[in-house]
């Protein structure tokens, strides 16, 4: 009776949820290696009768998608660097110092996430235009940091709260400055949380579309905007679209697989100790 209860109550729902999440990705991957004749044939077969990489080759050789991948990688890595550079000192300050307005500021971080991202587009667009930063990497990196930094600070603060303050004090008694205590003592212990925040910043920036559409043009174009070019008014280039979607999904998938343990540890550590 207990194995049946576990099967129906845990294992079967997990398999169904996992299948529901993976089915679009598997279908996209299979569609990217189908010939054009199979993509336009109705009804389309579940498994390709022929396998081909012609769509991937054409995507990388005849379009600027390789450059778009580079642009997205630069923007995502820049957003991670800027986000962690700002989030770690802020999280340390919220965790270690008691100052007027501390709880109010932490609450505002969550309140900001309640507003839709589209409300930030116009002010940031005007600001970047006045400074002449439109269609640059910095415009996108700063824009992505605008809506990802509040949650990053909140998550990292919860994790730093779980590190005993006596470690900081012992380091400062031995002659370390506050900055050295943060970088040499707290940072190594908070590395699972830092990795979790870094992955969150990378994936959010990598998949972002609205800021990339409004603040970029010819010089900088991320993959999310580049994929839209394969959807025309009268025709959709399904082969290129599926191949591009497969390539876009690979970096985030590989990153998650390599850092899965640290990601789960960082999220659960912050949730329990916050």
Residue 26 domain-assigned (yes or no):
no
Residue 155 domain-assigned (yes or no):
yes
| Exposed e or buried b per residue across 9-32, where buried means at least 16 C-beta atoms within 10 angstroms of its C-beta | eeeeeeeeeeeeeeeeeeebebbb
**pLDDT exceeds 70 at position 176:** yes
Task: For 43-96, write each residue's pLDDT tens digit.
Answer: 777 777 888 888 899 888 888 899 999 999 999 999 999 999 999 999 999 988
For residue 257, what are the domain limits? 33-41+49-273
Task: Give the whole-angstrom CA distance, residue 153 versus residue 88.
Answer: 7
Residue 16 domain-assigned (yes or no):
no
The per-residue DSSP string of 122-191 comes to HHHHHHHHHTT-TTSHHHHHHHHHHHHHHHHHHHHHHHHHTS-HHHHHHHHHTT--HHHHIIIIIHHHTH
Residue 37 domain-assigned (yes or no):
yes
Higher pLDDT, 201 or 265: 201
Residue 48, number of CB atoms within 10 A of its CB: 16
Residue 7 domain-assigned (yes or no):
no
CATH of the domain at 222: 1.10.3720.10
Task: Give the whole-angstrom CA distance, residue 56 versus residue 74.
Answer: 22
Listed in sequence order, the DSSP H helices in the chain are 2-6, 12-32, 36-39, 54-62, 65-96, 102-112, 118-130, 137-161, 165-173, 178-181, 187-189, 191-207, 210-215, 223-228, 238-258, 260-273
Residue 252 domain-assigned (yes or no):
yes
At residue 81, the pLDDT reads 94
Residue 28 domain-assigned (yes or no):
no
Query: With 0-12 CB in 10 A as exposed, 13-18 as middle and 19+ as buried, what is 86?
Result: middle
Q: What is the tally of structural domains in the chain?
A: 1
Q: Which has the minimum average pLDDT: 116-120, 234-238, 266-270?
A: 266-270
User: Measuring CA to CA, which residue among 156, 18, 6, 28 is closest to residue 92?
Assistant: 156
Residue 27 domain-assigned (yes or no):
no
User: Measuring CA to CA, which residue among 204, 221, 202 is closest to residue 212?
Assistant: 221
At residue 69, the pLDDT reads 92
Task: For 36-52, write each residue's pLDDT tens digit.
Answer: 878 777 777 777 788 88
At residue 148, the pLDDT reads 87
**pLDDT exceeds 60 at position 245:** yes
At residue 67, the pLDDT reads 92
Q: Which has the minimum average pLDDT: 18-22, 57-61, 109-113, 245-249?
A: 109-113
């Amino acid at each position: 009776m207990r194995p049946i209860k576990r099967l129906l109550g845990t294992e079967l729902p997990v398999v169904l949820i996992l299948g529901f999440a993976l089915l679009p990705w598997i279908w996209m991957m299979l569609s990217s290696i189908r010939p054009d004749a199979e993509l336009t044939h109705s009804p389309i077969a579940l498994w390709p009768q022929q396998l081909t990489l012609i769509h991937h080759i054409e995507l990388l050789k005849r379009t600027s998608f390789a450059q778009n991948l580079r642009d997205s990688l630069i923007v995502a890595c820049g957003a991670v660097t800027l986000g962690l550079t700002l989030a770690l000192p802020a999280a340390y300050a919220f965790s270690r110092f008691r100052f007027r307005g501390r709880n109010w500021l932490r609450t505002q971080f969550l309140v900001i996430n309640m507003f839709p991202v589209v409300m930030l587009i116009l002010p940031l667009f005007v600001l970047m235009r006045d400074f002449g930063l439109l269609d640059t990497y910095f415009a996108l990196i700063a824009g992505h940091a605008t809506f990802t930094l509040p949650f990053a600070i909140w998550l990292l603060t919860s994790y730093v709260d779980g590190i005993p303050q006596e470690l900081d004090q012992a380091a400062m008694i031995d002659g370390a400055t506050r900055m050295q205590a943060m970088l040499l003592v707290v940072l190594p212990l908070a590395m699972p949380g830092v990795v979790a925040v870094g992955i969150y910043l990378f994936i959010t920036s990598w998949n972002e579309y609205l800021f990339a559409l409004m603040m970029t043009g010819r010089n900088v174009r991320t993959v999310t905007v580049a994929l839209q070019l394969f959807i025309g008014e009268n025709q959709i280039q399904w082969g290129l679209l599926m191949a591009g979607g497969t390539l876009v999904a690979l970096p985030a998938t590989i990153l998650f697989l390599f850092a899965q343990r640290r990601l789960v540890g960082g999220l659960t550590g912050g949730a329990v100790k916050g």
